Amino acid sequence: MSIANVKEIFFEQGYIGPIKFLDSDELHQFKLQRDRHLEEIDWMNTEFRRKANFLFPFINKLSKNPILLAYVKEIIGPNFSCYDSYVWNKDPKNAKHVPYHRDGIYWNFQDQTRALTVWITLSGATKEMGCLKYIRDSHRYKTANGKIVFENQQLDKIDYIESNPGEFVMHHPYMLHGSDDNKSNFYRDGYSFCFVATDTDLAYKNSVESSIMVSGVDNYNYLIHEDSPSGDWHKDLETWNKTVEQQSNNFEELFKNSGFELPGLNLKEKQEEI
């Protein structure tokens, strides 16, 4: 895929990828760091999976990969930060699903379209492993009052995004997506990042909020920019606790006023949320 037409495809299709961004040596090194943390932390049963780029240096480093950032620049411009990140791991024969959702409703921005999600896998993700899946054209299901126009039959229009190790996918903040359980005998990892342009302000301001600059400059200063994690666990944990508390202080009002609804979305299949 040529990077020249990325923006057109992104807004037409709602997502781009998968795109290779790590070579074999880089992939090997990231897997070693991932595996070391897996021996110490049960990510999916801790809050550490949230805003993970503030706490884990290797996850922060993934968010700054130059190939990845070049694609993000095509969509939201040269000046942006990494506001949030999540770990989405699935053990072999893991029966849990991630239900369909839109990332944008969890982002405290006045203009959520000035942000996007990048989803990365180091392990690779096949359909059997519970790869990312999109409801086709669902980034268009929005009316003027913020309600989703949605019909149950549209659940059949699903794109399964099977990815090789070291690839990423980018998607629109309003794209409905989720993943099935991992039916395979292999571990599947996933890391999602929210990148936001510096020119959009917070929607709700019960608290300031933080991010990590990854590209360009910030001439607006709507967000506080924290340093990248140093590898000093106690120091990084202090920063992480602060950023999570800031985000939580605004979350209840954000969600209460989001205006998004998914009528009938759970009627076709019952999914257990991680």
Report the candidate in 268, 243, 259 with the shortest Cα–Cα distance to residue 83: 243
> Would residue 216 count as lying in a domain?
yes
> Can you say whether residue 37 is alpha, beta or left, with left for phi > 0 and alpha for psi between -120 and 50 degrees?
alpha
Q: Is residue 45 part of a domain?
A: yes
**Is residue 274's pLDDT more than 90?**
no
Q: Give the H or E element holding residue 171.
A: strand 167-171
Between residues 139 and 73, which one has the greater pLDDT? 73
Is pLDDT above 50 for 83? yes
Answer whether residue 229 is part of any domain.
Answer: yes
Chain centre to alpha carbon of residue 116: 8
Q: Distance (Å, rounded) from C-alpha 79 to C-alpha 231?
A: 26
Question: For residue 234, is it within any domain?
Answer: yes
User: pLDDT, tens digit, for every residue of 209-235?
Assistant: 999 999 999 999 999 999 999 999 999
CA separation, residue 25 to residues 31, 95, 169 (Å): 10, 32, 21
Domain count, the chain: 1
Residue 103 in domain: yes
The angle at the Cα of 176, spanning 7 to 245, to the nearest 5 degrees, equals: 95
Give the tens place of pLDDT for each residue, 39-71.
888 888 889 999 999 999 999 999 999 999 999
Instruction: Tell me the mean pLDDT in the region 187-212.
Output: 96
Which pLDDT score is estimated for 265? 37
Q: Look at residue 273 and tell me whether its pLDDT is greater than 60.
A: no
pLDDT at residue 148, rounded to an integer: 52
How many residues comprise the chain?
274
Mean pLDDT rounded to a whole number for the chain: 88
If DSSP codes are grouped into helix, strand and coil, which group holds residue 225?
strand
pLDDT higher than threshold 80 for residue 271: no
Contacts of 58 (CB under 8 A, 6+ apart): 30, 33, 34, 37
Instruction: Tell me which residue of 45, 205, 171 sits closest to 101, measured CA to CA.
Output: 171
The answer to whether position 265 is within a domain reads no
What is the token pair recorded at 226?
A: 């924290």
Residue 215 lies in a domain: yes
Give tens-digit pLDDT for 94-132: 888 888 888 998 899 999 999 999 999 999 999 999 999
Percent of the chain with pLDDT over 90: 73
CATH code, domain carrying 74: 2.60.120.620
- Domain assignment of residue 261, yes or no: no
Alpha carbon distance 44, 49 (integer Å): 6
User: Could you list the residue range(s) of the whole structural domain that residue 231 is in?
Assistant: 3-256
